[in-house]
Amino acid sequence: MQSLIFAKQKILNDKSILFSLLSLSILLVLAKIIGILPDFLNRMPEDVIPKYAETFDEKFNNNRDWMTSITRFFSQRLEFQLKVMAHLFYGARVHFFNPIDWVSLIFPATAFVYFIDGRKIASVTASIITISAILFTFFIGDENQLTLMWLFLGLSAVGCIYTFVKHGFLSPMIILGIVSIYAIILNGYKLGPLPWSSIAATAAVIGYYLGGWRLALLGGGTFIWTALIGQWKLAMETLSVLVVAAPISFIIGLLLGIAAWKFAKFDKFLRPLLSVLQTLPFFTYLLPAVIFFKVGPTAGAMATIIYAIPPMILMTTLGLKKVSPEIVEAGKMAGCSRWQMLSKVYIPAARTELLVGLNQVIMLCLAMVVLTAFIGMPGLGAKLLAMMNSFKLGRSFEIGVTIVLVAVMLDRLSKAWVVKQPVHFERGAPWWERHFFLLAAVVAFFGFLLFSMEVQFADQIGRKQHFSKGKEIDGLIKGFLDIDGVQAVTGWLRWFLITKVLIPFRDTLLWVPTSSFILFITVFSLWLGGKKPAIYAFLFFCFVASTGWWDRSVITLYTVISAVVLAMLIGLPMAIWAARSDKWSRRILLFCDTAQTFPSFIYLLPAIMLFGINDVAVIFSILIFTLVPLVRYTVEGLRGVPPEMTEAADMAGASRFQKLINVQLPLALPTMAVGFNQAIMFAFFMVIIAAFIGTQDLGQELQRTLAGTDLGKNFVLGLCVSLMALTFDQTIMSWTEKRKKALGLK
Amino acid sequence: MTNSKPVISCNNVWKLFGFAPEKYLKTLSEDRSYEEIQADGYIAGVKDVSVDVFEGEMLVIMGLSGSGKSTLLRCMSRLHDITGGTIKIDDQDIMALEEKELINLRRNKMGMVFQSFGLLPHRSVLENVAFPLEMRGQSKHDRRDRALEVIKLVGLEGREDYFPRELSGGQQQRVGIARSLAIEPDIWFLDEPFSALDPLIRREMQDEFLRLQDMLGKTIIFVTHDFDEALRLADRIAIMKDGAIEQCDTPDKIVLNPATDYVAKFTQEIDTARVVRAKTLMRAGAKKSITGVALSANATIQELARTIVNDARKEFPIEDEKGKIIGSMNRQEALDVLLGDK
């Protein structure tokens, strides 16, 4: 009884705080209307704004030297890997060689062998040879390095062949094969570029192994399309960065994830950092990369790697925590040491989550590699950027298709790997049957390699040989856009949205006094999420106000809000309608799944095509980008309502509308809120990219910093975006949690 | 059957869950009940348990869910660290063991079977069974030979290359059993091994289990929530409630003399004649006066029902496995048991 009264009082308290804050913020607005609002409550006065950026820059410049020397060490190793891949994929030349790179390759390879096989013999011999190789290289001098390398390779070959013959372990042989390829390239022999037909054939075999004919078609087809349309080199420039960045992200994320799972303190420290990192606009990743690693592939790869790490960390901790306690106990009772527990029990048992993490890493890497076009990374993204800049819609469209195909292919293949389960062979199956797909891949690869030596077309597709129809499509699209009807519709939409909706809304937001704005956001957080998010909201927005970038932040917010509201107006009815039938739910979910894999950059294309370069295009691109999570989670939420509840509503004689309003929507709301939250996060991400179209918000300023070295300003701007996004994230997720608990869904 | 020396010996074992349980245990007065401890914010997983398990004996720990039976089992294998008391295995206090020693103990002496099998999903049957052997570093050939041997023992020959998800529940548990036996453990822990199986398979697995036990004669701690299963398998049963042992005795003694009301609730529905054996009702000492065909000491009263009803002798001679007369049983007492009058 006592606690009940107490609870009542508490609610009363919360409510009274809510109302007093709300009335305070309304009072401030009224004060401004009458004209008695003091200036410092309207906008933060210039002279009290702390100089975050300057202080940061000063600190940074003082420490710059040692920081760059560390990063240079890493960037050179990375550059080496990128160069080798670039050589293999599109024939770039490799012209430098540093013994440390050699070690940087052997070491992870050895660790990999040990990890997969867990057999000391292979790894111990390899590492002894490695260490002696390092020592030798330092004493012998440059001219003898290559001799030494061959010696080293010879020795490891003996070791690997010995382990294969004696114990039948294949993995050292595979590593040896990879290392030999490096050795050959480093010796100046030309291995690359690999013929497109070989890669396409191998991709088809892998696709078939993972998911049958459909994925074989997708895997092979993507590469065939890319080659025939004449974008092979572009695609390979992009992929060569991806194949280096994704594994590194995966491994770093895995290690950090394991550390966070093992040490609670580290986890506590890491979590807030990760949420900031995940909401930080990508320009903020780019500039430090540029400053530390110079413009180009290395900087791009570095930014990509860092960008893709956070979700891998989260998936790793999640997966390790989810391992069933019985499996853990079984491992302990089998007498596992700690290392055995981790490598033989935890990690294999968390396979699904780790592979889901890998899928996310790959997709984020691809999205980021495309975006790093902004800092001069060559490849599909750069070409798309150039084509859009010169308004060549046909070519842009073709590149867009290629990017989408590559994204869908990578997504589907890696997802198929997640669900791929080991299958046993009948006793006494011959070795070629056990390794059928490995053999098929090797045969396909080398078969087409030989074939392309004879037939030039299968090797490289020359300038005049491709089937690009860029000009024709360009004409088609422009012709379509010139049709009066289309013109009228887009023109009217543009006029209506800009003059009647967007500009008034923006001006209102900009007119509202800062103090009142902050209070209003706090009230919103308090009402929806509760006390904790409200405090965060207040602090976060105070920080944003104190940076002096208030107006631009408000414009960013305005863009996000208008786009998400418009997306809801379109998306929710669509999703509700689709959720009514099984067939359409499935179709829409499949579509959303696919659309979600597209690199965000792609969404700019239709926006620019339809609306040209203005605010409506910005809103439109964000709108279609945010539609995806909104529709998807709404459909999933509505479909996820337990059938007995809808049946109960039916039996109670509810009409379809009553059922929707009273049963389905309330139960689906927590899931829908997750989609809503994701939509806002996506919007904050997209609004920054839309700076490319031309905006007046934080994104524009951020993009400008890329040209210079204003690291401080870049960080402050990035933090503004991140904190605004986090405010919404905290509030909505806190509401979702509360709601789920109240509904007993958790 | 029982030896004088206990293999596992638990003395006043406590396992409390909560914040700083050791400190709390020190301040705890002896007569504090389970509910009172709970009100203090602690869960008494195991509450002052003392029990010995002897070599070659099968002790069944029986209790409903939340009674602490699995917790007690996990304390004995030190999957849980106990809060108070001592647990000794072969006179060695297991709480005093270093990590390395504990790993060695598990690698050489203990095997455990789990309720939901706890198989490693990425390993084939053979690799799962060989897993404990691999952990202790046995060579590939050795562990393959041994694993095949145990797989044959549990009747899974020909399925060595299957993966757990390709097997039925019963088969999966056979793999679990094979894995726990691979290292030839002295002590065999089974945590509700048959609870996840459907009734027909459960019965079959129990028979299989009895066959294995006949052959191997391990020291066994078997946890179950099924009283029938406990009666069927146990040499002794420990009935647990709220973390404490209510009664620990042989099945027939529990059925004939339930120590508490709680135990009596279980025994009520049990057909006593199926559990009580001739030797329980027997008065020791061979008397010349009692003649005629002797009855087997290990037979249940129900198995002897026909003789007891049809044969009008007042007393029956009782013989042991070797055919030696060791005592006699009163017909009236046997009839009482048979008819449920006790």
Q: Could you give all domains of chain B from N- to C-terminal order, each with its CATH number? A: 274-339 (3.10.580.10)
> Does the distance separating the beta carbons of A349 and B121 come in below 8 Å?
yes
Give yes or no for a cis peptide into A422 (omega within 30° of 0): no
| Residues sharing a CB contact under 8 Å with residue A547, sequence separation 6 or more, in sequence order | A49, A52, A716, A717, A719, A720
- Read off the pLDDT band of A168 (50, 70, 90): low
Which of these, A240, A474, A249, A243, lies nearest to A379 by C-alpha position?
A240
B103, B109, B167, best to mutate vs chain A, most A CBs in 10 Å: B103
Task: Tell me, yes or no, if A478 comes closer than 8 A to chain B by beta carbon.
Answer: no
From the CA of A535, how many Å to the nearest CA of chain B? 30
A664: tokens are 């389905």
Task: Tell me, yes or no, if B189 comes closer than 8 A to chain A by beta carbon.
Answer: yes
Task: Tell me, yes or no, if A115 comes closer than 8 A to chain B by beta carbon.
Answer: no
Task: Tell me, yes or no, if B110 comes closer than 8 A to chain A by beta carbon.
Answer: yes
Q: For A20-37, how does the pLDDT look when each residue is reduced to its tens digit (9 = 90+)?
A: 888 888 888 888 888 877
Chain A residues touching B116 at Cβ < 8 A: 324, 326
- Read off the pLDDT band of A365 (50, 70, 90): very high
So what's the pLDDT on residue A437?
85
Using the predicted structure, report yes or no on whether residue A136 has a pLDDT greater than 60. no
Task: Tell me, yes or no, if B114 comes closer than 8 A to chain A by beta carbon.
Answer: yes
Count of all residues that appear for chain A in the document:
746
Chain B residues touching A348 at Cβ < 8 A: 120-123
User: Looking at residues A439-459, what average pLDDT do you find?
Assistant: 84
Give the CA dihedral A572, A578, A579, A580, nearest 10 degrees: 120
From the CA of A7, how many Å to the nearest CA of chain B? 22
So what's the pLDDT on residue A714?
86
Dihedral sign for Cα A219, A224, A227, A229, please: negative
A115, A163, A333, best to mutate vs chain B, most B CBs in 10 Å: A333
Task: Tell me, yes or no, if B188 comes closer than 8 A to chain A by beta carbon.
Answer: no
**Percent of chain B scoring above 70 in pLDDT:** 98
- Read off the pLDDT band of B189 (50, 70, 90): very high
Q: For A538-569, how does the pLDDT look when each residue is reduced to its tens digit (9 = 90+)?
A: 999 999 888 888 888 998 999 899 999 999 99
Q: For B4-30, how does the pLDDT look when each residue is reduced to its tens digit (9 = 90+)?
A: 688 999 999 999 998 888 888 888 877
So what's the pLDDT on residue B2?
44
Which class would CATH give A476-511+547-707?
Answer: mainly alpha
Radius of gyration of chain B (CA): 22
Nearest to A348 among B120, B163, B180 (CB): B120
Task: Tell me, yes or no, if A168 comes closer than 8 A to chain B by beta carbon.
Answer: no
B126, B161, B192, best to mutate vs chain A, most A CBs in 10 Å: B161
> Does the distance separating the beta carbons of B163 and A422 come in below 8 Å?
yes
- Residue B15 in 3-state DSSP? strand
> Does the distance separating the beta carbons of A424 and B106 come in below 8 Å?
no
> Does the distance separating the beta carbons of A326 and B115 come in below 8 Å?
yes
Using the predicted structure, report yes or no on whether residue A10 has a pLDDT greater than 60. no
> B44: which strand partners?
B16
From the CA of A338, how many Å to the nearest CA of chain B? 10
A645: tokens are 């509840």
The answer to whether residues A97 and A87 touch, using CB atoms and an 8 Å cutoff, is no
Whole-angstrom distance, CA of residue A515 vs CA of residue A544: 12
Nearest to A421 among B132, B165, B189 (CB): B165
Chain B residues touching A336 at Cβ < 8 A: 103, 135
From the CA of B88, how many Å to the nearest CA of chain A? 17
A662: tokens are 């009273």
User: Looking at residues A65-79, what average pLDDT do you find?
Assistant: 82
> Does the distance separating the beta carbons of B107 and A332 come in below 8 Å?
no
Using the predicted structure, report yes or no on whether residue B268 has a pLDDT greater than 50. yes
Whole-angstrom distance, CA of residue B2 vs CA of residue A740: 56
Using the predicted structure, report yes or no on whether residue A148 has a pLDDT greater than 70. no
Chain B residues touching A329 at Cβ < 8 A: 74, 79, 112, 114, 118
Among chain A residues, CA nearest to B162: A424
Whole-angstrom distance, CA of residue A683 vs CA of residue A624: 10
> Does the distance separating the beta carbons of B136 and A424 come in below 8 Å?
no
| Residues sharing a CB contact under 8 Å with residue A236, sequence separation 6 or more, in sequence order | A89, A90, A193
- Read off the pLDDT band of A175 (50, 70, 90): low
Helices and strands: H and E segment counts in chain B = 15, 14
So what's the pLDDT on residue B247?
92
Residue with the bigger pLDDT between A501 and A140: it is: A501
Task: Tell me, yes or no, if B288 comes closer than 8 A to chain A by beta carbon.
Answer: no
The single-letter DSSP state of residue B31 is T
Amino acid at position B266, single letter: F
Nearest to A424 among B106, B162, B189 (CB): B162
Which of these, A541, A548, A507, lies nearest to A521 by C-alpha position?
A541
Chain B residues touching A322 at Cβ < 8 A: none
The answer to whether residues A608 and A388 touch, using CB atoms and an 8 Å cutoff, is yes
Task: Tell me, yes or no, if A420 comes closer than 8 A to chain B by beta carbon.
Answer: no
Residue B193 is inside which H or E element, if any?
A: none
Using the predicted structure, report yes or no on whether residue A323 has a pLDDT greater than 90. yes
User: Looking at residues B92-118, what average pLDDT do you find?
Assistant: 91
**Percent of chain A scoring above 70 in pLDDT:** 86
> How far is it between the farthest Cα atoms of chain A?
91
Nearest to A335 among B120, B135, B166 (CB): B135
Alpha helices in chain B (DSSP H): 21-27, 34-39, 69-76, 99-109, 125-135, 140-153, 169-181, 199-216, 227-233, 251-256, 261-268, 272-275, 278-281, 305-310, 331-339
The single-letter DSSP state of residue A656 is H
Could you say which residues from 446 to 475 on chain A have a Cβ atom under 8 Å away from some Cβ of chain B? none
> Does the distance separating the beta carbons of A326 and B114 come in below 8 Å?
yes
- Read off the pLDDT band of A12 (50, 70, 90): low
Domains of chain A, by residue range, sit at 95-187, 476-511+547-707
Radius of gyration of chain A (CA): 29
> Does the distance separating the beta carbons of A329 and B160 come in below 8 Å?
no
Q: Are strands B325-330 and B295-296 parallel, antiparallel or unpaired?
A: unpaired
Nearest to A326 among B118, B122, B134 (CB): B118
So what's the pLDDT on residue A142?
55
**Residue that the structure tokens 């009263």 belong to:** B301
Which of these, A608, A609, A628, A627, lies nearest to A618 by C-alpha position?
A608
User: Looking at residues B249-255, what average pLDDT do you find?
Assistant: 88
B81, B122, B167, B191, best to mutate vs chain A, most A CBs in 10 Å: B122
- Tally of CA atoms within 13 A in the half-sphere of A461 that contains its CB: 18
| Residues sharing a CB contact under 8 Å with residue A234, sequence separation 6 or more, in sequence order | A378, A379, A380, A382, A383, A399, A402
User: Looking at residues A351-373, what average pLDDT do you find?
Assistant: 91
- Read off the pLDDT band of A205 (50, 70, 90): very high
- Tally of CA atoms within 13 A in the half-sphere of A189 that contains its CB: 9
Task: Tell me, yes or no, if B186 comes closer than 8 A to chain A by beta carbon.
Answer: no
A/B interface, count of CB pairs below 8 Å: 84
> Does the distance separating the beta carbons of A332 and B116 come in below 8 Å?
no
Crossing angle (nearest 10°) for helices A232-262 and A380-389: 120
Using the predicted structure, report yes or no on whether residue A320 has a pLDDT greater than 90. yes
Chain B residues touching A351 at Cβ < 8 A: 121-122
Nearest to A336 among B116, B119, B135 (CB): B135
Q: For A265-297, how does the pLDDT look when each residue is reduced to its tens digit (9 = 90+)?
A: 999 999 889 988 888 888 888 888 888 877 778
Could you say which residues from 322 to 351 on chain A have a Cβ atom under 8 Å away from some Cβ of chain B? 324, 326-327, 329-337, 340, 344-345, 348-349, 351
> Does the distance separating the beta carbons of B161 and A333 come in below 8 Å?
no
> Does the distance separating the beta carbons of B163 and A424 come in below 8 Å?
yes
- Read off the pLDDT band of A115 (50, 70, 90): low
Most confident segment among A111-115, A143-147, A311-315:
A311-315
Chain A residues touching B136 at Cβ < 8 A: 335
Using the predicted structure, report yes or no on whether residue A1 has a pLDDT greater than 50. no
From the CA of B288, how many Å to the nearest CA of chain A? 55
Among chain A residues, CA nearest to B70: A326
Q: For B32-61, how does the pLDDT look when each residue is reduced to its tens digit (9 = 90+)?
A: 888 888 888 888 889 889 999 998 899 999
> Does the distance separating the beta carbons of A424 and B166 come in below 8 Å?
yes
Whole-angstrom distance, CA of residue A573 vs CA of residue A308: 34
Tell me how far CA of residue A209 lies from CA of A199, A202, A203, A687, B262, in angstroms. 15, 11, 10, 40, 59
- Read off the pLDDT band of B103 (50, 70, 90): very high
Q: Which range has the worst mean pLDDT, A137-141, A289-293, A689-693?
A: A137-141
pLDDT, chain A, mean: 83
Q: Which range has the worst mean pLDDT, A192-201, A406-415, B235-244?
A: A192-201
Rounded to two decimals, what is the model's pTM?
A: 0.85
User: Looking at residues A411-435, what average pLDDT do you find?
Assistant: 82
The single-letter DSSP state of residue A379 is S
Among chain A residues, CA nearest to B130: A334
Task: Tell me, yes or no, if A67 comes closer than 8 A to chain B by beta carbon.
Answer: no
Q: Are strands B315-319 and B325-330 parallel, antiparallel or unpaired?
A: antiparallel
